[in-house]
Amino acid sequence: MPRFLASLLLLCLTFNAHADSYITRLLNKPVPGGVAVVDLGTSAQAPKASYQGKPVLVVKEQNNWLAIVGVPLTVKPGRQQVSSGGRDLSFTVGNKQYPEQRITLKNKQQVNPDPESLKRIEGELAEQIQAYRSFSPNTPSNLLLDKPVSGPLSSKFGVRRFFNGEERNPHAGLDFAVPAGTPIKTPAAGKVILIGNYFFNGNTVFVDHGQGFISMFCHMSKIDVKVGQQLARGGVVGKVGSTGRATGPHMHWNVSLNDARVDPAIFIGAFQP
């Protein structure tokens, strides 16, 4: 019996150490538009994991491998599963209510584009989806991200947006209220995988931090990088502007995991349940 109790105590201590791990405390916000940290156990080699048929970021903390799973905004609260090594590992998605935002645009084309603009938008969307689905083997340099700019938030992630009274896609990133020309810095090391001047996003840069962990910056006044360029943490990607569908200068930042846009506030310690 003493040996059994000692083994049970060791098991509990091991579980509690993981449950209270740094990465779990930092990132585990399993709500629609959030992140789930799933324990994959110990192994000599890095395990592979997938969620909704897409590969997932896997990192090692002490002796445990952890899956860092992006939960799409469209996922309903309830049980979800990550697949790894022939196993299905469950996690629970909680509920989160997002506020509404109503925006008036003088340019009605940016609310209801004409057929020619729609054709352009479809092509641009396909380019950006391909970038979001990039999955390089590199491990991200850091998971606690730096803010790309220093300034107050002007619009939060997940806000239901109404343009001229018509509902459109929820806000997929964070907006920072900073002046035009402010340098935008990459929050982690990475590779530039896409740049473009898009109908809605204006001047845009995608940076791949590794294993499907991707930052996107848009509405920029100037792009200062090229596709294929390797950036150190803090490297300047361009300058703040108001190109595309924007009512004024600001910095818009998306974060994507396994092709799911998630709340960047999670990675800068500013998440609000």
Distances, alpha carbon 81 to alpha carbons 36, 171, 221, in Å: 10, 26, 41
Task: Report the residue count for the chain.
Answer: 273
> CB burial class (10 A; 0-12, 13-18, 19+) of residue 260?
buried
Model pLDDT for residues 165-184, shown as the tens digit of each residue = 555 567 889 999 999 999 99
CATH topology of domain 2-93: Immunoglobulin-like (2.60.40)
- Token code pair at residue 17: 């150490």
Whether the predicted pLDDT of 204 surpasses 50: yes
Q: Which residues pair with 102 in a beta bridge?
A: 162
Candidates 179, 194, 158; CA nearest to 266 is 158
Count of H helices and E strands in the chain? 3, 21
**What ranges do the domains of the chain cover?**
2-93, 100-268
| CATH number assigned to the domain covering 100-268 | 2.70.70.10
In the numeric block, the tokens 């209801």 are attached to 112
pLDDT of residue 121: 87
Model pLDDT for residues 98-133, shown as the tens digit of each residue = 876 666 656 665 566 778 888 998 999 999 999 999
Model pLDDT for residues 216-253, shown as the tens digit of each residue = 999 999 999 999 999 999 999 999 999 998 888 999 99
